[in-house]
A and B are shown apart, each in its own frame.
Chain A
């Protein structure tokens, strides 16, 4: 945690936005869960947090409960969701906020109750950085492109497509036309960049660096002892880059297979597996299958053949909570603090939503971070309102679109720029923002 003054108030202006954002997300999660949270509760909650400080989880819980909850019925839900809020907040304060602390010139926490609009800046910055050809289309923005739609696979865009899916589905053996699995350079490049962005995630520890990003005052002081208190040279330091492992939980239920290019999904998994140091891949629909070994094959075609040989099935119903629970119970070694969990799913949970929420909280607390890749989110009108998606969102570091290599590039770009604990996700995707700001966007009169 950050250094604090006598009252436990963080002594850093730079964390203000992070605290506000975590609080806003928490308030949203409470409202989605049915808790009656007053309109001004976020401001009061921020004031309460500043009063009690950030050192003691129990004090913070009591303070926020007093500020955000107005009915006894909401207390249990609040307590259930608070853990994830605190984990997210602690991650901000422990990790990225240290940077802000070093940069903070005056060391005072700005009033949290005041209005702030931090969220749009990132998207604006990203939009400004986009290359001219990076936008989705010159005309209408893309909607969900499905492998079952004619023309989707050869790059043609479709208009106003509504994804169709089967909520339950019937499992079938994995079959893909191997001949269609041609090399895809853009995807390879995108996955390379994604892996690079994950592998370049900085840990909390510092390392000595010849030309680091920060001065190392402690080392300078130690060295100055030998020169009678004179600092002869200013040593520098940089964050250690930690090795990142990846665990992919790929939803292969019928509802996902209906909207995602199966070849793209398999190529992505194969390329990702080949490029990270350690990976685990699980297929899930209504059951969970560990298919890691299949993706150890040298090519995607070989991986598909391996899946076929193993009679791996897909196309069942969607039970995301059950899948995470199974991983927790039977493959818990697949997830640790160095593992980035990637969930490829449309979030259309057909199982117990409360169970999904519980399991996602476990996954978030156990892993380095959770990224949710949602094929449906490629639609610029998409909002994460389905019950399962909404329940899981509070434990997710970032929700992203997942339909082609450009989505992978966008994930990588955000990770490179803001890190996995930063403000990343669909809301910061400039392509969505462009949709609302483009002057030539056609709207109905």
Chain B
């Protein structure tokens, strides 16, 4: 931290990020080590975000693996993940910093610190409660942390304006304290479920990645990596069912996260029961792992169960 506010408005956002020397092989290795199945588009886009030092705005349906991307980057590069979960009404004091008023009051009452004395002020780092954005800016280390601003579309538009300053200059001004500036730019992953349109100003500062629902092959690969205890043929059937369900006009399409939940559930239920094909009853009893809306669950009648079972059997037959 700096004691005095510093003028850094003209800062070049492409300066060292701590990740600007990351190679594609290193990035792929990081994904591989964390069992994250990323296609070439994702690898290229993330690599660009790292090298150019630009925030990455990731959009896609819930459960598509947006949040996981930030976690994987932090784990894969052995750095800290700092998460800011957005919600309606999120304010600056929840995202940036707060003063520890109780501690300040006690210090003043005990006559240890004052308000005006610059050498013994209660507006000191000791009394500052760092929230996620400030934590990121003041973090040290060789590799900067990964900042995950999750579901930014849930936050108010006023909060986006606050983000603009942070994302443009990677610094924040605290009137009583000074300017806090990141030594190295953090990796910033912003996720959005597209429940509302984001401002142009925010989008202009970001690279964009739209995560599509995975293909059958990719989803199968994800299930096999994340749920290794599940038999391969059953994993194939599960993915075929999920893919078939995504063709239906559901209120909420199952994402990869739901597929993984379902796979883990089936693996648990079949722990002692071999590798036989999925039965309609088995699908019906566990469909709640995939579908989270009552209306969607009610669509699964006998005819639909038969369709799903056929899809599963066809996929197993094609193995």
Contact = CB atoms under 8 A, between A and B. Distances in A.
A69 B208 contact: yes
A65 B41 contact: yes
A62 interface: yes
Contacts of A41: 204
Contacts of A75: 210
B14 A62 contact: no
Contact of A62 (B41, B54, B57): B41
A44 B207 CA distance: 9
Contacts of B49: 66
A368 to B, nearest CB: 32
A48 B54 CA distance: 11
Interface string B12-38: 001000000000000000000000000
B44 A62 contact: yes
A38 B203 contact: yes
Interface residues of B, number: 25
Contacts of B59: 72
Q: Choose among A40, A51, A70 the residue with the greatest number of B CB atoms under 10 Å from its CB.
A: A70
Contacts of B203: 38, 70
Nearest to B46: A66
Contact of A48 (B41, B48, B204): B48
Contacts of B57: 70
B194 interface: yes
Given A72-B59, A72-B194, A75-B210, A66 B48 contact: yes
A70 B208 contact: yes
A65 B41 CA distance: 9
B52 A51 contact: yes
Interface in A13-49: 36, 38-41, 44, 47-48
Contacts of B208: 65-67, 69-71
B200 interface: yes
Given A51-B48, A52-B48, A66-B45, A72 B207 contact: no
A66 B40 contact: no
Nearest to B61: A72
Interface string B192-232: 00100100100110111110000000000000000000000
B51 interface: yes
A170 to B, nearest CB: 47
B204 A63 contact: no
A38 B204 contact: yes
Contacts of A39: 204
A66 B51 CA distance: 13
Contacts of A69: 208, 210
A114 to B, nearest CB: 12
Q: Choose among B51, B52, B57, B203 the residue with the greatest number of A CB atoms under 10 Å from its CB.
A: B52
A62 B204 contact: no
A377 B56 CA distance: 43
Contacts of A36: 200
A121 interface: no
A59 interface: yes
Nearest to B200: A38
A36 B204 CA distance: 10
Contacts of A66: 44-45, 48-49, 56, 207-209
A59 B197 CA distance: 27
Contact of B48 (A63, A70, A71): A63
A5 interface: no
A129 interface: no
Nearest to B42: A62
B44 A52 contact: yes
B48 A40 contact: no
A388 B41 CA distance: 32
Contacts of B194: 72
Nearest to B210: A72
A330 interface: no
A40 B204 contact: yes
A58 interface: yes
A52 B24 CA distance: 10
A213 B59 CA distance: 53
Interface string A107-141: 00000000000000000000000000000000000
B97 to A, nearest CB: 30
A67 B209 CA distance: 9
Interface string A211-226: 0000000000000000
A379 B52 CA distance: 44
Given A58-B41, A67-B48, A70-B203, 14 more contacts: A44-B52, A44-B207, A48-B207, A51-B52, A52-B44, A58-B40, A59-B40, A59-B44, A63-B48, A65-B208, A66-B45, A66-B49, A69-B210, A71-B197
24 contacts: A36-B200, A38-B204, A40-B204, A41-B204, A47-B14, A48-B48, A51-B48, A51-B51, A52-B47, A58-B44, A62-B40, A62-B41, A63-B44, A66-B45, A66-B49, A67-B48, A67-B207, A69-B208, A69-B210, A70-B57, A70-B204, A71-B197, A72-B60, A72-B210
Interface of A: 36, 38-41, 44, 47-48, 51-52, 58-59, 61-63, 65-67, 69-72, 75
For the complex of A and B, the 4 pairs showing the least CB-CB separation, nearest first, are: A62-B44, A38-B204, A70-B203, A66-B207
